[in-house]
């Protein structure tokens, strides 16, 4: 301010001095008046320059000047800089929050007080079929047409969630989305959505499983109690008694097998996958499989005119095959199970061939080929489900529990191996197990 007054006085003195020199005391007064006007106009122009710059606020073109206008411009520049930094900072934070919301595995939609979309993440866009950019400002009620959602949204009772059909849900691939609305701020709503398809499927599977187990146990139990009642109430001959007791033993054995298989499955699920510490010779594994397969075949065909034609790899070949990593009992039971199925489902006279082949990539394939009834394509993907059977009566006749392939799949998964099933109805089936190269060792090249 002192500078400003000093400048004004300097202009006055210069104007007055010039006037005095040119025209005496009147000249001095006129000179001072003109100098005051000139200073006023000069000052006005400087102020206008600062004002013009303030209108654009362009920090790269800050007017450089001294005095009060220079200071005003400088202070404004500093304020603008600070403001800009603050804006940049909050924009960065907003972007970080939006990026975090994008990264959540759940759908997030921000709705304004009128129920219009303000922002939504990609997950929500996928679940509801929105376009994350185009559908901004669209009313959620127009985009999600499910009557359940409409009732939920208009009901304004957001204490619970609602489960809707996903946008791309089909009967063969159902998608179920749980939607929960949370009010916040001044009338705004946060919509959170979650894909609950797997959860609902697991729940349905659990219910099916409990129903299946109950059924599998209840059926032989009903038969057993029926026989007990008969034995208790009817006067039977010794021969009848022993026949009934034989049938009771059969039912008890059936229950025992189901319980045994269920325990095996739960043990497999509950224990960590086997490491690479334990190794089993392929020769021992397949020799045991052969013994069990032949024993089962002769048991099943003992009263028949024909037997099975069984073929296994020769001991000479197996001797060169080295070892496979894993728990011997588990591997043994899985491979034997495939052979036992082939024997059980192939009628007498049919052929069953077991092979062990090394591939060029170092992996090995164990396969069981049979000339049994074959399996229709629609059943193949479901064979490893618990209690899934194509032919219930045939499975029971031969002592099947419907859990065999589920156990096989589990054991193989734990050992890094895969199961492939190929079958032609009426011709036969091939069950192949591929062991990866890293779980095999000690293979000796023939020759």
Q: Tell whether residue 404 is a contact of ligand ADP (CB under 6 A).
A: yes
Q: Which is nearer to ligand ADP, 121 or 429 (CB)?
A: 429
Least distance in angstroms from the C-beta of 224 to ligand ADP: 20
Instruction: Give the separation between CA 144 and CA 146, rounded to whole angstroms.
Output: 6
Instruction: Give the separation between CA 180 and CA 106, rounded to whole angstroms.
Output: 11
# chain residues binding ligand ADP, by CB under 6 A = 21
Least distance in angstroms from the C-beta of 211 to ligand ADP: 17
Q: Which is nearer to ligand ADP, 260 or 438 (CB)?
A: 260
Burial class (CB in 10 A: 0-12, 13-18, 19+), 88: exposed
Q: Tell whether residue 297 is a contact of ligand ADP (CB under 6 A).
A: no
**Three-state SS for 127?**
helix
Could you tell me how far CA 33 lies from the centroid of its own chain? 86
Please choose, out of 116-124, 313-321, 337-345, 438-446, the segment that lies near ligand ADP by the rule CB under 6 A: 337-345
344-403: contacts with ligand ADP (CB under 6 A): 345, 370, 372-373, 375, 383, 388-391, 395, 400-403
406-435: contacts with ligand ADP (CB under 6 A): 406, 429
Least distance in angstroms from the C-beta of 198 to ligand ADP: 23
Burial class (CB in 10 A: 0-12, 13-18, 19+), 5: exposed
Site string for ligand ADP, 315-334 (x = CB under 6 A): --------------------
Q: Tell whether residue 341 is a contact of ligand ADP (CB under 6 A).
A: yes
Least distance in angstroms from the C-beta of 379 to ligand ADP: 7
Non-local (6+) Cβ contacts of 178 within 8 A are: 161, 162, 163, 164, 193, 194, 196
Instruction: Give the separation between CA 61 and CA 63, rounded to whole angstroms.
Output: 6
Instruction: Give the separation between CA 371 and CA 352, rounded to whole angstroms.
Output: 7
Least distance in angstroms from the C-beta of 171 to ligand ADP: 25
Least distance in angstroms from the C-beta of 333 to ligand ADP: 12
142: number of CA atoms within 13 Å, CB side?
9
**The binder of ligand ADP chosen from 110, 300, 405, 412 (CB under 6 A):** 405
Please choose, out of 18-26, 223-231, 316-324, 338-346, the segment that lies near ligand ADP by the rule CB under 6 A: 338-346
State both tokens at 257. 């097998």
Helix axes 328-345, 404-414, angle to 10 degrees: 150
Least distance in angstroms from the C-beta of 297 to ligand ADP: 13
> How would you list the strands of the sheet with 309-311, edge to edge?
309-311, 351-358, 364-370, 428-435, 418-424
Q: Which is nearer to ligand ADP, 33 or 265 (CB)?
A: 265
Whose tokens are 């219930």? That residue is 392
Instruction: Give the separation between CA 125 and CA 132, rounded to whole angstroms.
Output: 6
Report the 10 Å Cβ neighbour count for 315. 11
Q: Tell whether residue 128 is a contact of ligand ADP (CB under 6 A).
A: no
Q: Tell whether residue 339 is a contact of ligand ADP (CB under 6 A).
A: no
Q: Which is nearer to ligand ADP, 16 or 372 (CB)?
A: 372
Q: Which is nearer to ligand ADP, 301 or 341 (CB)?
A: 341
Q: Which is nearer to ligand ADP, 182 or 215 (CB)?
A: 215
Q: Which is nearer to ligand ADP, 104 or 266 (CB)?
A: 266
Q: Tell whether residue 15 is a contact of ligand ADP (CB under 6 A).
A: no
Least distance in angstroms from the C-beta of 368 to ligand ADP: 7
Q: State the Cα angle at 106 between 105 and 107, rounded to 5°.
A: 130
Instruction: Give the separation between CA 338 and CA 368, rounded to whole angstroms.
Output: 7
Q: Which is nearer to ligand ADP, 283 or 401 (CB)?
A: 401
Q: Which is nearer to ligand ADP, 94 or 425 (CB)?
A: 425
Non-local (6+) Cβ contacts of 169 within 8 A are: 175, 176
Cβ–Cβ under 8 Å, residues 53 and 73: yes
DSSP string of 227-273?
Answer: HHHHHHHS---HHHHHHHHHHHHHHHHHHHHHHHHHHHHHHHHHSPP
197-216: contacts with ligand ADP (CB under 6 A): none
Least distance in angstroms from the C-beta of 354 to ligand ADP: 12
Q: Which is nearer to ligand ADP, 31 or 372 (CB)?
A: 372
Q: Which is nearer to ligand ADP, 7 or 388 (CB)?
A: 388
Residues contributing to the site for ligand ADP (CB under 6 A)? 341-342, 345, 370, 372-373, 375, 383, 388-391, 395, 400-406, 429
């Amino acid at each position: 301010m002192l500078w400003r007054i000093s400048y004004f006085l300097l202009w006055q003195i210069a104007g007055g001095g010039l006037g005095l020199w040119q025209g005496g005391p009147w000249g001095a007064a006129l000179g001072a008046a003109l100098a005051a006007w000139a200073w006023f106009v000069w000052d006005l122009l400087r102020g206008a320059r600062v004002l013009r710059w303030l209108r654009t606020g362009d920090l790269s073109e800050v007017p450089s000047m001294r005095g009060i206008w220079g200071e005003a411009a400088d202070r404004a520049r500093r304020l603008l800089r600070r403001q800009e930094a603050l804006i940049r900072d909050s924009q960065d934070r907003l972007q970080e929050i939006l990026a975090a919301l994008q990264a959540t595995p759940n759908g997030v939609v921000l709705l304004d007080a009128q129920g219009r979309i303000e922002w939504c993440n990609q997950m929500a866009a996928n679940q509801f079929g929105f376009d994350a950019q185009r559908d901004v400002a669209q009313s959620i009620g127009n985009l999600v047409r499910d009557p359940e959602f409409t009732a939920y949204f208009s009901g304004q009772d957001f204490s619970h969630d609602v489960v809707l059909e996903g946008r791309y849900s089909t009967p063969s691939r159902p998608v179920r989305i749980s939607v929960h609305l949370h009010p916040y701020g001044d009338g705004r709503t946060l919509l959170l959505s979650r894909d609950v398809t797997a959860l609902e499927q697991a729940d349905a599977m659990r219910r099916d499983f409990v129903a299946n187990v109950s059924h599998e146990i209840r059926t032989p139990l009903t038969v057993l109690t029926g026989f007990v009642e008969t034995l208790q109430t009817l006067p039977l001959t010794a021969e009848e008694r022993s026949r009934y007791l034989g049938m009771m033993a059969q039912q008890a054995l059936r229950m025992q097998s189901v319980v045994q298989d269920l325990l095996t499955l739960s043990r497999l699920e509950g224990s960590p996958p086997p490491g690479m510490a334990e190794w089993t010779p392929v020769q021992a594994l397949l020799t045991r499989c052969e013994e069990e397969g032949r024993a089962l075949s002769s048991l099943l065909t003992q009263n028949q005119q024909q037997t099975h034609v069984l073929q296994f790899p020769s001991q000479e070949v197996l001797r060169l095959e080295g070892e496979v990593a894993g728990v011997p009992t588990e591997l043994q039971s899985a491979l034997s199970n495939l052979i036992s199925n082939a024997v059980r489902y192939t009628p007498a006279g049919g052929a069953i061939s077991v092979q062990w082949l090394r591939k060029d990539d170092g992996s090995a394939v164990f396969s069981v080929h049979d000339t049994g009834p074959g399996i229709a394509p629609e059943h193949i993907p479901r064979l490893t489900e618990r209690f899934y059977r194509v032919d219930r009566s045939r499975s029971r006749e031969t002592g099947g529990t419907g859990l065999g392939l589920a156990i096989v799949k589990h054991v193989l998964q734990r050992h890094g191996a895969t199961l492939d099933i190929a079958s032609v109805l009426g011709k036969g089936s091939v069950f192949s197990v591929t062991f990866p190269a890293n779980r095999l060792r000690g293979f000796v090249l023939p020759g």
